[in-house]
Amino acid sequence: MNRKALIKKFDKQANKYNKRRNNDRASKFREQIFPEAEGNVLEVAIGSGLNFPFYNKDIKLTGLDFSPAMLQVAQASAKNYPFETTFIEEDVESVTFDENTFDTIVSSGTLCAYQNPIYTLNKFQKWCKSEGKILMMEHGICNKKSLALLQKTLDPLALKLFGCRQNRNITELVKKSHLKMIKEERYLAGYLYLVWAKP
């Protein structure tokens, strides 16, 4: 799927993501990892800002997204939180930042959409300070074989409808990248991955 079509798909979903704010089934998992974000924080594919409630008040947040509609919702939501925010409308796969810029890089539900996820993870490694951290909450292939088979079967349809791949093995992607995995936890039959990594 070309990037223009993908951006349109996410633009159309902005209001739907915003409505999830008060009934986000992933909130208990976000709460397990994202309060650890500190310092100068980059959140890639920030979407509607569903991670905002879990950030500490003293962070400095840069929110990146290629969807102008998503950024509009995130900017409106950010007004309800005390931390400083900057928003950038760019594609994470093409944007550039100086090396060693961020103390924390946050990614939630983004690896499913990248054309080259390992390349993107390697960008995280460059952008993050050597003593910093990369925090991820991603969905991917399940542990259970029957569910994994269903995911593989539905993957072409999910990609067409939502611009989202269902069958990526997040553990293997991180291991193949330049990141150093510190800890991983998996939930919902292994569908949901929480990953703590270092550059």
pLDDT digit string, tens, across residues 164-190:
888 999 999 999 999 999 999 999 999
For the entire predicted model, the pTM comes to 0.90
User: With 70 as the cut, is the pLDDT of residue 13 above it?
Assistant: no
pLDDT digit string, tens, across residues 125-162:
999 999 999 999 999 999 988 999 989 998 888 778 77
Query: What's the Rg (C-alpha) of the chain?
Result: 16
Question: Which CATH architecture is the domain 3-198 placed in?
Answer: 3-Layer(aba) Sandwich (3.40)
- Res 161: pLDDT: 75
For residues 124-138, b (16+ Cβ closer than 10 Å) or e, as one string? Answer: bbebbbeebbbbbbb
Token pair listed for 174: 């991180």
Q: Are 168 and 93 in contact (CB under 8 A)?
A: no
Q: Are 169 and 141 in contact (CB under 8 A)?
A: yes
- Res 33: pLDDT: 98
pLDDT digit string, tens, across residues 59-105:
999 999 999 998 999 999 999 999 999 999 999 999 999 999 999 99
Query: How many angstroms separate the Cα of 168 from the Cα of each of 42, 82, 150, 154, 174?
Result: 23, 35, 13, 12, 11
Q: DSSP assignment of 113-128, as one string?
A: T-SSHHHHHHHHHHHE
pLDDT digit string, tens, across residues 111-128:
998 989 999 999 999 999
- Res 16: pLDDT: 65
Which positions ≥6 away from 78 have C-beta within 8 Å? 49, 52, 61, 63, 85, 87
